[in-house]
Homo-oligomer: A and B are copies of this chain.
């Protein structure tokens, strides 16, 4: 998994503490963790294409979350950056095996493929069960001092 996933997760979480009606330019988001702005911007564009953040142009423009943190899951963010492909790619090995049937879709018929798919589903289910709102609440409980500093930095104060 690319480092862009970690950047995107932290950046989106930070944006949950941005006051309504505000937007943050990429440079300021990148400065948060000393990230290369051009490369972070690529991740932000991918998040925008996935409808997770929206960008507003102009001198006071930048990025904000495009929908409520309750409606953004960690899976949404991971898929926006990494794509929806499963880690295990079934190449339908059985097609080349003895007695194979050219008409069979071995991604469906192969029990190994099914088992690997179930594991992928378990991973996705876990990430889909965690929203930015839930993560925000956990941070606020565990590290009560963190959010106000984050808001200040997002606002360039």
Contacts A115-B127, A115-B130 given; indicate if A97 touches B142 (C-beta within 8 A).
no
Binary contact track A117-157/B, C-beta < 8 Å → 1, others 0 = 01110111111001000010011001001100110010000
Select one of B7, B118, B135, B153 contacting A115, CB under 8 A: B135
Contacts A119-B126, A123-B119, A126-B122 given; indicate if A153 touches B98 (C-beta within 8 A).
yes
Which residues of chain B come closer than 8 Å to A145, judged between CB atoms? 99
A76 CB → nearest B CB, Å:
13
Assembly CA distance A120 to B127 (angstroms):
9
Which residues of chain B come closer than 8 Å to A124, judged between CB atoms? 119
A108 CB → nearest B CB, Å:
12
For A91, A97, A118, A145, which residue has the most chain B Cβ atoms within 10 angstroms? A97
- Copies per complex of this chain: 2
A68 CB → nearest B CB, Å:
19
Is A34 part of the contact surface with B, judged by Cβ < 8 Å? yes
Is A111 part of the contact surface with B, judged by Cβ < 8 Å? yes
Is A93 part of the contact surface with B, judged by Cβ < 8 Å? yes
Is A89 part of the contact surface with B, judged by Cβ < 8 Å? yes
Is A24 part of the contact surface with B, judged by Cβ < 8 Å? no
Known contacts A13-B112, A111-B138; can you find 20 more A-B pairs with CB under 8 A?
A1-B89, A6-B88, A6-B91, A9-B116, A10-B93, A10-B94, A10-B112, A32-B97, A33-B94, A33-B97, A74-B115, A87-B87, A98-B150, A115-B135, A116-B127, A119-B123, A119-B127, A122-B123, A122-B125, A123-B123
